[in-house]
Amino acid sequence: MQTPSYITYGVVDLEDLKSIAKETAEKYSYNANRDNLYKLLLETAIVETNAGNASMDVNRSYGRSIMQFDKIGYEEALRVRNIYKNNDFQEQINKGYMSEAMQRNPRFAFYLARFFYLGKIEAIPSTLKERAEYWKKYYNTGGGAGTASAYISRVQSHLGKDWN
């Protein structure tokens, strides 16, 4: 049996995640409410990888990057990106889903998450509870192990009980 090899997600701390989420929301808002987008992206990273503190087994076939993209989510993000004719991160995309660029580049992961969410018809909600339900509906889906209540709990454990 092969020993799993673990790598980091390329982030330093929560402030680093906040900064990347803010940059992404500002650059790729596409008419979304930037504050809601910022919060959703930040919260997704927090929930999916415990703010970058979870170990990642590169030998498994699912959950890449700080946003834990599976192959289907990755391809959906690229499909939406192509509709918007955005060519940022082309070099990383050329390397493919399993590349180190996908694993360790949090800006690339946030970028992909933005385009994944951009493909959803519903606007990004403004409250934590509604964003938790939105994440469960679109990102984690019915087959995923995550729940809206666990989302809220994890987000508040990193950002405080007053975060909304």
Please write the tens of the pLDDT for every residue from 48-69: 998 888 876 666 656 778 898 8
In a domain, 161, yes or no: no
Is residue 128 within 8 Å of residue 40, measured between CB atoms? no
Decide if 68 is inside a domain. Answer: yes
For position 157, what pLDDT does the model report?
96
Q: DSSP string of 44-84?
A: HHHHHHTTTTS-EETTSSS-BTTTTB-HHHHHHHHHHHHHT
d(CA 29, CA 25): 5
Flag whether pLDDT at 78 surpasses 60: yes
At 147, list the tokens. 């729940």
Spatial distance between the Cα atoms of 31 and 97, rounded to a whole number of angstroms: 28
Q: How many domains does the chain have?
A: 1
Does residue 155 sit within a domain?
A: no
The mean per-residue pLDDT over the stretch 101-110 comes to 86
110 domain residue, yes or no: yes
Give the pLDDT score at 101: 73
156 located within any domain: no
Q: Is residue 71 part of a domain?
A: yes
Structure tokens at 118: 């951009």
What is the tens place of the pLDDT at every residue in 131-161? 999 999 999 977 778 899 999 999 999 999 9
Contact predicate 19/3, CB 8 Å: no
Question: Do 120 and 77 meet the contact criterion of CB atoms below 8 Å apart?
Answer: no
For 125, the token pair is 């909600």
- pLDDT class of 5 with cuts at 50, 70, 90: very low
User: Does some domain include residue 106?
Assistant: yes
**Percent of the chain whose pLDDT exceeds 90:** 64
Whether 148 maps to a domain, the answer reads no
Q: Tell me the residue range of the domain where 48 lies.
A: 6-120
